[in-house]
Amino acid sequence: MANTFGHLFRITTWGESHGGGVGVVLDGCPPRLELSEADIQPDLDRRRPGQSKIVTPRKESDTVQILSGVFEGKTLGTPISMWVKNEDMRPEAYSEMATKFRPSHADYTYAAKYGFRNWQGGGRTSARETIGRVAAGAVAKKMLRERFGVEVFAYVKQVKNISAEVDFNSVKLSQIESNIVRCPDAAAAAKMIRLIEKMRKAGDSVGGIVEGVARGVPVGWGEPVFDRLEADLAKAMLSLPASKGFDIGSGFDGINLTGREHNDPFRMKGGKVRTTSNRSGGIQGGISNGENIYFRVAFKPVATVMHEQDTVDAQYKNTTLKGRGRHDPCVLPRAVPMVEAMTALVLADHALRHRAQCE
Amino acid sequence: MANTFGHLFRITTWGESHGGGVGVVLDGCPPRLELSEADIQPDLDRRRPGQSKIVTPRKESDTVQILSGVFEGKTLGTPISMWVKNEDMRPEAYSEMATKFRPSHADYTYAAKYGFRNWQGGGRTSARETIGRVAAGAVAKKMLRERFGVEVFAYVKQVKNISAEVDFNSVKLSQIESNIVRCPDAAAAAKMIRLIEKMRKAGDSVGGIVEGVARGVPVGWGEPVFDRLEADLAKAMLSLPASKGFDIGSGFDGINLTGREHNDPFRMKGGKVRTTSNRSGGIQGGISNGENIYFRVAFKPVATVMHEQDTVDAQYKNTTLKGRGRHDPCVLPRAVPMVEAMTALVLADHALRHRAQCE
Amino acid sequence: MANTFGHLFRITTWGESHGGGVGVVLDGCPPRLELSEADIQPDLDRRRPGQSKIVTPRKESDTVQILSGVFEGKTLGTPISMWVKNEDMRPEAYSEMATKFRPSHADYTYAAKYGFRNWQGGGRTSARETIGRVAAGAVAKKMLRERFGVEVFAYVKQVKNISAEVDFNSVKLSQIESNIVRCPDAAAAAKMIRLIEKMRKAGDSVGGIVEGVARGVPVGWGEPVFDRLEADLAKAMLSLPASKGFDIGSGFDGINLTGREHNDPFRMKGGKVRTTSNRSGGIQGGISNGENIYFRVAFKPVATVMHEQDTVDAQYKNTTLKGRGRHDPCVLPRAVPMVEAMTALVLADHALRHRAQCE
Amino acid sequence: MANTFGHLFRITTWGESHGGGVGVVLDGCPPRLELSEADIQPDLDRRRPGQSKIVTPRKESDTVQILSGVFEGKTLGTPISMWVKNEDMRPEAYSEMATKFRPSHADYTYAAKYGFRNWQGGGRTSARETIGRVAAGAVAKKMLRERFGVEVFAYVKQVKNISAEVDFNSVKLSQIESNIVRCPDAAAAAKMIRLIEKMRKAGDSVGGIVEGVARGVPVGWGEPVFDRLEADLAKAMLSLPASKGFDIGSGFDGINLTGREHNDPFRMKGGKVRTTSNRSGGIQGGISNGENIYFRVAFKPVATVMHEQDTVDAQYKNTTLKGRGRHDPCVLPRAVPMVEAMTALVLADHALRHRAQCE
């Protein structure tokens, strides 16, 4: 069950970075949604290595193919199987990985858990696994937009200590896509790009924060207790490679306020119940309240660096390892479509769950 | 499915703050574990209102009763049903709630979602729902300790801007329980208690951070991709009432480091693969690496304050509402056993999942 | 997960025949359904031992209590917890069970699986476990009737070689309840009762067939592939104690026809697509087609007989065992509400699943 | 969730008869099992159309490809994705299907449920969907054999009124595969083949019974209450296309016996608890008792016949339809590997579940 996410709008991803390919089966998509590869490819291109000078140079076209679930341009209500072939396999570039555990990667834990691992390019732990999520997320985004009027965005909010000013209530996709770091604050973006370039040259890496936003979510999605909307978002985000933290609305900063300061007062506005502030982040008691949902995800700096580091080999002897070949100085620009995809998958699932029980 | 958590060690909670009671059914507990109410009551007492001057004064004994799944003092392998009767029902104290939505509570979202709600004491959104979790968590903690040698702790790390110094590698339960705020740093604890007292008198409230720790987890628990150990912990924590954020290991602070600085080097130590630092927080690629697991949970200040605040009533008219009666100035001391319980439930589930697939 | 059934309309049962009681948590029931114990008790009374001279004489009132999920007479959308206290505990009557495995009971398999068992009255394997199912099934029946216009019935179709003539298209509850064997064919019922009486006097037992019917199910419920409506019904029925077989529509007898003879032709009737015969049993490709659903469940003769039989004891020595005390010569009259309950639970789940994906 | 089967050893199938292909993702297979396409292809060849004169002539090689989850000839513990390309697409042969609902097929119910369907070759309702099950079932069979010493078989027991004599305790695969109808009783097989040939010439079809057997299952697999081994087998079998019934052990015939006659006495034999008869079918109280498991599945005659039959078209007008092109006079020989696959999937899942909770 580890490779399945969602209950009613449910995906199962498969594939290693080396092998036949990577893919996803999406089960539960409603019928009669117009869908073709053209709806999915743009997000895969945003996720793709080699898209700009500040991300890993791995070159693969990552061309998606829909194998089932679509007929005459519309979804059938049956499973949608999508896959991307693996192309850029250079096992020789990774050969040292066969015998040494990369620090702060999952090589050691996989080997210990399964007694066996595909060391090529990280195998299943490769960021390549997220191709299936992004592909299914594109379908979820389309369904949310067309059937429910919901929009999902993400953007880079912070790289190391460079923080951007962005209004999540009004930010547009065109602003996010206006630069290669996917930060809608142009001035901050320029600084971020310079820093990442510097890191690339130094063979080092940086992390930061991606902010996710959902606008137009109606009141009532989400469930009390365990499947709270924010709990499912937290799980979704912490399931992304390299993520280390999640907070929603006022989040960790909300601690600085007292209850009196923190509460969001209700007021009627345009015939609707609205809150005059939004420290709740659009969710109260696990259920959307009609305000914009916004949250942050912390990503650590990429573990592969072009420097000698202490480690242990597969014979459990001390040794050192220096990253070679391709180098990703910052995962954030490519994490943006991943955060959007996981957000959309959570919301699509809850949209259907709400319909099942409460309509 | 909203009220069920876990796959193999799985709980379903039920109950409103007013009504017959609250409880839990635990399905999947292995057989032949010695178990009685005495194993469970202590954690319920740590969760209970009225336990000290700095928590809500609601007076209930919260006495747990095991209704099934235990025979001659041992678990049968069948569902363990546990419940606590509701006692302290004062519906009159809450009567204004029937017609007004409390700000930053779930009154409005429940009413909108279900078209109907139990307004008494918050109904299902009451912190009383966590009784079932804490009861089942006590069983999980016992199983983890006796069958796997795993210990789970939590403690208050920060109240508003007062932060404690605690070494998660060595902290003991007796230190946590040595004061009413459940902070093992005595000096910080004293300041925290003073601040909470002040808030209580001011009819206001404060939030903060609870830190959770698991020691002794063997290498290999957790799953790649969606059911990563940190993802399941994130979901577990964000499912707790009033929680707004989660981070693990270096977390949000890890952003300040470069990859070279952040990586945890591997070294052999005592015949085992160990890391010389622990920014990963004991988990790599979703799987435990044998180091101590530690993470933080942010809790917002409690929403009920003894001051007039803007809100809307059930007829969708603007109005104001002032909290009356019982007042909880800080949820943190009572959140400690909740964090422990959810941590133990996640680990117990993964312990069984690992055994199923990999042993 | 073994004690949970259903996905969206989902129950978890708990309890042994001896211990605090038996119960069920129903999660996913839509809100605002009028509900009280009076909706549930009648089906429990139909399931109850001691209701007539042809069933087991165990005397318990089996009075149900709703502990949560209902407020001011209506469902809240939160978990509905229901339980029945255990009353008639006579451990001494069963003492031989502590040391000997009853033939064709689950004593041996439970002991082998769990290394430990509650031998009192069969523990969790007792038919008493079905109380939770019947209680939740009563809620499902009510929801199906009020929200979807669907009616669910079951009746005794055959006892040993005595078969009844019943038209499943028109049979009424009053006919089913018109005699103690719950067979709407009065002549057959009289013979059945005589045979069961004879068996009771002989200390022996008989099995037979219960037929289940659902009328008014709209076109489109059920899912292709694994969760076909007939597959979920089959699982539901084979999960009942003492059941050994299931067939739907033409079933095992359909084998005697060729395809040409067996097919159900479509014809328009009253503006609807109808079939002129119903060998499909109301389901085609796993999905309801608007015709009446009907199926049969085979129940073996009850295993407890008042005769010495070969068996093995807990020390794995050959021995003999003679049933003592209470004796149930035929489970069928009490299986009728169980079959109805499981049918209703399957349909309620699929009603919500259909709404989620296809509406 | 409709396209997923199993909990710990879990498959998700995808694909229509026309489109990119059909496939399966198997999640939860333990690591380090030797596996290649050569382990899977033989069962696909047994399932393939065109394998003999008595099955449908559709010609496709059905060559399976493993896309993930296997490295250096061994399973990784990650999802195993397998697929078969579609080749033999002759949409013109099916064109009438676009506008008319085939009697006793799922055309009408799919159209009604989803408002849209892939009419080509039955789309997702095609028996082609079972390719994924048979592929995953081959992995399950291998794991059961190598890790647990369990063997799974199925064979044709009856075609219309021609019944075979087969001893399920000793039957061998070579006997099953010794003739094209897959019936180990040579005399009955010859009669069956003659009857099927006759039906083929007459443009008609016949159904019958497949018997399934599992030998070597240890005591203790299966769960009480809902996930009884026989309940999961019943669901698995009723999820197969054209199946109409299931019974286990004495099954429907057990009704003819009294309890005294029907019970399986226990006796010690070779140091083990054994039963001297096996009317229970190897399962008691939902849990395997160490005896051989055997059960029967009824398959209706194939619905496509080469004769004019009444039906309704997509404009809801009465019309007639005559099957054309390929014709499958009897599904039974090809159902044999499907029954084996589903049996193996159920047992593999319960093997892991038992290990999780009870070891």
Task: Answer yes or no: do A67 and D116 touch at CB < 8 A.
Answer: no
Whole-structure pTM over 0.95, yes or no?
yes
How confident is the model over C70-99, as a mean pLDDT?
84
Which residues in chain D are closer than 8 Å to B357, comparing Cβ atoms?
8, 28, 30-31, 77, 352
What integer pLDDT is reported at residue C122 of this predicted model?
Answer: 80
Q: Which pLDDT band holds residue B18 (cuts at 50, 70, 90)?
A: confident
CB B295 within 8 A of CB B237: yes
- Burial letters D6-35, b for 16+ CB under 10 A, else e: bbbbbbbbbbbbbbbbbbbbbbbbbbebeb
Which residues in chain A are closer than 8 Å to C358, comparing Cβ atoms?
30-31, 77
Residue C349: pLDDT over 70:
yes
* Polymer length of chain A: 359
Of B78, B224, B353, the CB nearest to D356: B353
Of C8, C77, C81, the CB nearest to B15: C81
Task: Answer yes or no: do B14 and C67 touch at CB < 8 A.
Answer: yes
Of B8, B31, B224, the CB nearest to D356: B8
Question: What tokens were used for A102?
Answer: 């990369």
How confident is the model over D35-55, as a mean pLDDT?
94
Of C265, C271, C286, the CB nearest to D309: C265
> How deeply is C174 buried, as exposed, middle or buried, from its count of CB atoms within 10 A (0-12, 13-18, 19+)?
exposed
β-pairing, C243-248 vs D243-248, is antiparallel
Which residues in chain C are closer than 8 Å to D230, comparing Cβ atoms?
238, 244
Residue D90: pLDDT over 70:
no
What integer pLDDT is reported at residue D275 of this predicted model?
Answer: 98
DSSP state of C122: G
Task: Answer yes or no: do B14 and C77 touch at CB < 8 A.
Answer: no
DSSP state of A239: T
Q: Which pLDDT band holds residue C106 (cuts at 50, 70, 90)?
A: very high
- Which residue of D lies nearest to A79 if distances are taken between CA atoms? D14
Residue C92: pLDDT over 60:
no
Task: Answer yes or no: do C359 and A355 touch at CB < 8 A.
Answer: yes
Inter-chain contacts counted by CB atoms under 8 A, chains A and C:
38
To the nearest whole Å, the CA of D64 is away from the closest chain A CA by: 13
To the nearest whole Å, the CA of D228 is away from the closest chain B CA by: 13
Of D3, D255, D285, the CB nearest to C208: D255
How high does pLDDT run on average in chain C? 94
Of A2, A244, A284, the CB nearest to B106: A284
Task: Answer yes or no: do B19 and C79 touch at CB < 8 A.
Answer: no
How confident is the model over A249-272, as a mean pLDDT?
97
Which residues in chain B are closer than 8 Å to D359, comparing Cβ atoms?
355, 359
Following CA atoms B126, B129, B134, B135 in sequence, which dihedral angle do they give, to the nearest 10 degrees? 140
Rounded Cα distance, D210 and D340, in Å:
10
The question of ipTM being above 0.95 is answered as: yes
Instruction: Pick the residue of D5, D14, D131 with the most A CBs within 10 A to test the interface with A by mutation.
Output: D14
Rounded Cα distance, B30 and B76, in Å:
8
- Which residue of A lies nearest to D124 if distances are taken between CA atoms? A78
Is C4-358 a domain of CATH 3.60.150.10? Answer: yes
How high does pLDDT run on average in chain D? 94
Task: Answer yes or no: do B303 and A220 touch at CB < 8 A.
Answer: no
Task: Answer yes or no: do C303 and D259 touch at CB < 8 A.
Answer: yes
How confident is the model over D318-341, as a mean pLDDT?
93
CB D131 within 8 A of CB D62: yes
Among A95-99, C207-211, C355-359, the range of highest mean pLDDT: C207-211
Task: Answer yes or no: do A234 and B234 touch at CB < 8 A.
Answer: yes
Which residues in chain D are closer than 8 Å to C294, comparing Cβ atoms?
none
In Å, how far are D83, D181, D215, D288 from D57, measured between CA atoms? 21, 15, 34, 40
How confident is the model over B133-149, as a mean pLDDT?
98
- Which residue of D lies nearest to C7 if distances are taken between CA atoms? D1
Residue C161: pLDDT over 90:
yes
Which residues in chain D are closer than 8 Å to B1, comparing Cβ atoms?
none
- Which residue of D lies nearest to B355 if distances are taken between CA atoms? D356
Task: Answer yes or no: do A71 and D19 touch at CB < 8 A.
Answer: yes
DSSP string of C29-58, one letter each residue: PPTT-B--GGGTHHHHHHH-TTSSTTS---
Which residues in chain D are closer than 8 Å to A20, comparing Cβ atoms?
65-68, 81
Of D7, D77, D357, the CB nearest to B358: D77
How confident is the model over B101-126, as a mean pLDDT?
90
Residue D173: pLDDT over 60:
yes
Residue at token pair 């876990």 = B6
pLDDT digits (tens, 9 = 90+) for B300-324: 999 999 999 999 999 999 999 998 7
Residue D18: pLDDT over 90:
no
What integer pLDDT is reported at residue D91 of this predicted model?
Answer: 56
Of C78, C224, C353, the CB nearest to A356: C353
What integer pLDDT is reported at residue B19 of this predicted model?
Answer: 86
Residue B91: pLDDT over 80:
no
What integer pLDDT is reported at residue C247 of this predicted model?
Answer: 98
How confident is the model over C101-112, as a mean pLDDT?
94
Of C28, C353, C355, the CB nearest to A359: C355
Rounded Cα distance, D267 and D282, in Å:
15
What integer pLDDT is reported at residue D323 of this predicted model?
Answer: 85
Which residues in chain C are closer than 8 Å to B70, comparing Cβ atoms?
19
pLDDT digits (tens, 9 = 90+) for D240-253: 999 999 999 999 99
pLDDT digits (tens, 9 = 90+) for C165-191: 999 999 999 999 999 999 999 999 999
Which residues in chain D are closer than 8 Å to B8, comparing Cβ atoms?
353, 356-357
Which residues in chain C are closer than 8 Å to D307, comparing Cβ atoms?
260
To the nearest whole Å, the CA of C148 is away from the closest chain A CA by: 13
Which residues in chain D are closer than 8 Å to C356, comparing Cβ atoms?
none
Rounded Cα distance, A165 and A106, in Å:
34
pLDDT digits (tens, 9 = 90+) for A66-99: 999 999 999 999 999 999 999 866 655 557 778 8
Q: Which pLDDT band holds residue B199 (cuts at 50, 70, 90)?
A: very high
What integer pLDDT is reported at residue A121 of this predicted model?
Answer: 78
Residue B88: pLDDT over 80:
no
What integer pLDDT is reported at residue A327 of this predicted model?
Answer: 86
DSSP state of B206: B
CB A339 within 8 A of CB A125: no
How high does pLDDT run on average in chain A? 94
Lowest mean pLDDT, pick from A106-115, B83-92, C70-79: B83-92
What integer pLDDT is reported at residue D324 of this predicted model?
Answer: 79
How high does pLDDT run on average in chain B? 94
In Å, how far are A34, A212, C199, D267 from D270, measured between CA atoms? 65, 65, 36, 10
Instruction: Pick the residue of A5, A7, A11, A25 with the most D CBs within 10 A to test the interface with D by mutation.
Output: A25
To the nearest whole Å, the CA of A308 is away from the closest chain C CA by: 48
Cβ neighbours for B76, distance < 8 A, ≥ 6 positions apart: B31, B69, B70, C16, C114, C116, C117, C118, C123, C124
pLDDT digits (tens, 9 = 90+) for B238-264: 999 999 999 999 999 999 999 999 999
Residue at token pair 């008042």 = C306
Rounded Cα distance, A307 and A292, in Å:
43
- Which residue of C lies nearest to B16 if distances are taken between CA atoms? C68
Of C160, C246, C260, the CB nearest to D256: C160
Which residues in chain B are closer than 8 Å to C136, comparing Cβ atoms?
none
Residue D99: pLDDT over 60:
yes
Question: Three-state DSSP class for C336?
Answer: helix
